[in-house]
Amino acid sequence: MPVDVRPDRSDLQHSFRSMASDVRFWVVRPGADAEAAVEQARALVETVARTCTRFDPTSDLMRANAAGREWQQVAPECFEALVLAEQAHRETGGLFDPRVLTVLRSMGYDRPLPFAERSLQLDGQQLPAPRRRWSRTKAWNPGFDEDRSAVRIGSEPVDLGGIGKGLAVTWASEILAGSGDAVLTEAGGDLMALGPGPDGDGWMVDVENPFGGQAAAVLRVTDRGIATSSTRIRSWTVGERQVHHLIDPRTRQPAESDLASVTVVGADPGIAEVWSKSLFVLGRSSIRSFADDRGLAALWIDTGGHVGVSREMRPYVAWQVSRVS
């Protein structure tokens, strides 16, 4: 999700690779403590990546997954991410459900995959049988012991990929806040924009066209988080079937959505990440009414290239097209 402004030479920029994403910090007209804040923010992101990854069996998350119904002490960052994932599960009525690790593994996504390749084919995998479609998923009731920073996940292992990245951006932004006139923190499709931006009238953020080419819209935001859920990058072929990482918890299959991407503006990118995934699962027929009823700022692009915007999103839209190709 590129920011449509060229940095000033005096601004502080810092980029690195983490959580399978390019992470960027941008501090506009930095103060004396900006470099120290950037170092702390990077350390925080790398801590989240280390403790919340599902690709390392020794990570805090995977030790908790292995413990199942038994208590497992985890790092504070992993504990907080799991608490917020459970809250998101309840608030979305089960549309957001982190208990998708078994499904992702069954599709071969049990290791970092080279999604940059144009066509990714995984042979020898077998998709799980779809469950009967329910209006709500089975309740998730993990245990949390804040005093010991201990969790009890339950019988189904969880994946914190998306929400973990959103929270890392949020927490890094909190460290960087006040280190300059304005701050942007970005990781992949998630970002947090603090302050008035480099030109003093907000941050201008492009909404990418999931089919390539010209941006679908430009958003103007101040003190807001943005997240986009899309199948543009993380999709691959299992046997003869095209699959992706956005799992519908009602069927335990890749969401059969007629949407290509959903972008949400929220108080922070962790919250926006949760709702962008949930709206993607809902699909085109329900997204507008659901977003308007919940007061969600959402912009979506369907598989036909049509661009839709909720009522709450309209004040953030500086420019948009009606259709992309």
DSSP state of 266: E
Question: Distance between CA 133 and CA 24 in Å, rounded?
Answer: 40
Domain assignment present for 275: yes
Question: Distance between CA 312 and CA 271 in Å, rounded?
Answer: 15
Domain assignment present for 102: no
- Cβ–Cβ under 8 Å, residues 105 and 111: no
Strand order of the sheet with strand 121-122? 121-122, 235-238, 241-244
Which pLDDT score, from 0 to 100, does residue 134 have? Answer: 46
One-letter identity of residue 105? R
Q: Is 139 helix (H, G, I), strand (E, B) or coil?
A: coil
Residue span of the structural domain in which 309 resides: 128-135+202-325
Domain assignment present for 223: yes
Question: Distance between CA 275 and CA 147 in Å, rounded?
Answer: 30
Kindly state the average pLDDT of the residues 296-316.
97
Contacts of 173 (CB under 8 A, 6+ apart): 41, 183, 185, 192, 194, 268
Sequence-ordered strand ranges (E) for 189-316: 190-194, 203-207, 217-221, 224-230, 235-238, 241-244, 247-248, 253-254, 259-266, 297-302, 307-309
Domain assignment present for 121: no
Among residues 165, 225, 179, 166, which one has the least CA distance to residue 14? Answer: 179
Across 178-217, b (16+ Cβ under 10 Å) vs e yields ebbbbbbbbbbbbbbbbbebbeeebbbbbbbbbeeeebbb
- The pLDDT tens digits of the residues spanning 4-52 come to 555 666 999 999 999 888 999 999 999 999 999 999 999 999 999 999 9
Question: Distance between CA 289 and CA 108 in Å, rounded?
Answer: 35
Of the candidate ranges 3-12, 17-26, 147-156, 296-305, the one whose mean pLDDT is the lowest: 3-12
Domain assignment present for 243: yes
One-letter identity of residue 310? S
- Cβ–Cβ under 8 Å, residues 321 and 214: yes
Question: Distance between CA 106 and CA 126 in Å, rounded?
Answer: 6
Domain assignment present for 245: yes
**Residue keyed to tokens 């994932």:** 85
| Helical residues (DSSP H) of 24-59, grouped into ranges | 34-52
Domain assignment present for 222: yes
Which pLDDT score, from 0 to 100, does residue 4 have? Answer: 59
- For the chain, the average pLDDT equals 89
Among residues 203, 163, 210, which one has the least CA distance to residue 187? Answer: 163
Domain assignment present for 182: no
Q: Residue 253: pLDDT band by 50, 70, 90 thresholds?
A: confident
Would you say residue 124 has pLDDT above 80?
A: no
CATH code of the domain containing 234: 3.10.520.10
Q: Is 278 helix (H, G, I), strand (E, B) or coil?
A: helix
List of long-range contacts for 301-309, beta carbons under 8 Å, 24+ apart: 301/209, 301/210, 301/216, 301/259, 301/260, 301/261, 302/258, 302/259, 302/260, 303/258, 303/259, 303/260, 305/211, 305/260, 307/216, 307/217, 308/284, 309/217
Would you say residue 131 has pLDDT above 90?
A: no
Q: Residue 116: pLDDT band by 50, 70, 90 thresholds?
A: low
Can you read off the two tokens belonging to residue 296?
């969600």
- Cβ–Cβ under 8 Å, residues 218 and 107: no
Of the candidate ranges 95-99, 117-121, 131-135, 253-257, the one whose mean pLDDT is the lowest: 131-135
- Total number of domains constituting the chain: 1
